Amino acid sequence: MKKLRTDAWEAQLSEDVRQQLYAYTKPPTKEEAEAGRPHLANFERDVLPWLSLQGIPAPQRSTWYRFVGRMEAQEREDRAARTIIGMGTARKIATGMAKAKIDPKLAADFLTALSVDAATKQNEEAMKILADAASKYHAAALGAEKLKLDAARQRTADEQLKLAREKFEAAERRENAAKNALGDTKLTDADKIAKMKEIFG
């Protein structure tokens, strides 16, 4: 019968009124208190007078607290449902981005933003999943950047080695040309001097 009395009292209230009543059972913020938002903390002192002012029939004391308890349980269930949905969505996002092979830095920044958003919504499990994925992408981004730097350094080293090899080979060709010119008995001394100037510039 107690359950029926609770349902009978709640049945005459709209969903908006039920949500408002439950919200008023929680302490107001400083700004809300200054704006005059009620706090229905005590049944006799707060609840009954406020309901009377609003023209809402007063329930029995036990009915009121069963209503508050039911709303608290519903809030916990809703929060748990959002967490489960958030976890599933977080996993899908993290998995999908891994398959898409998105740039690690962009992925890390995006997942970090999502994890912060999940944290503000008090979705701790989703936040952990997204933060973990973001951390892995940050590490991958650092690794990719290191590979780029290593590759750039290797290209510079290769280019320097190639240039040194070309200089050595050019010097070797000039030396051989000079030896050939000096050993050429058909050339006069003047011709040999002219040849040396031509070879070494």
Model pLDDT for residues 109-152, shown as the tens digit of each residue: 777 777 777 677 666 777 777 777 777 777 766 766 676 776 77
Is residue 127 within 8 A of residue 118, CB to CB? The reply is yes
When pLDDT is averaged across residues 21-36 and rounded to a whole number, the result is 88
pLDDT at 80: 55
User: Which tops the pLDDT comparison, 28 or 181?
Assistant: 28
Q: Is residue 46 a part of any domain in this protein?
A: yes
End-to-end Cα distance, the chain? 115
Residue with tokens 């958030």: 86
pLDDT attached to residue 113: 76
Q: Domains in the chain: how many in total? A: 1
Mean pLDDT of the region 189-193: 78
The answer to whether position 26 is within a domain reads yes
**What's the whole-model pTM score?**
0.40
Question: How many residues are there in the chain?
Answer: 201
Distance, in Å, from the CA atom of 39 to the CA atom of 25, rounded to the nearest integer, reads 6
pLDDT digits (tens, 9 = 90+) for 45-90: 999 999 999 999 888 898 898 888 888 877 776 665 555 445 566 6
Could you tell me if residue 23 is inside a domain?
yes
The two structure tokens encoding residue 37? 């938002």
Top-confidence residue, 103 or 34: 34
Confidence of residue 92 (pLDDT cuts 50, 70, 90): low
Asked if residue 147 belongs to a domain, the reply is: no
Spatial separation of the C-alpha atoms in residues 89 and 83, rounded to whole Å? 10
Report if residue 161 sits inside a domain: no
What pLDDT shows up at residue 45?
93
Find the mean pLDDT for residues 3-15: 69
Structural domain contains residue 102: no
pLDDT at 6 over 60: no
Q: Whole-number mean pLDDT of the chain?
A: 76
The token pair that represents 29 in the structure block: 């913020």
Identify the band that residue 39 occupies on the pLDDT scale cut at 50, 70 and 90: very high
The domain of 23 spans: 2-81
Q: Quick one: what percent of the chain has pLDDT higher than 70?
A: 76
**How would residue 11 be classed by pLDDT, with cut points 50, 70 and 90?**
confident
Q: What is the pLDDT of residue 15?
A: 85
Q: Is residue 104 part of a domain?
A: no
Query: Is the pLDDT score of 16 beyond 70?
Result: yes
In a domain, 113, yes or no: no
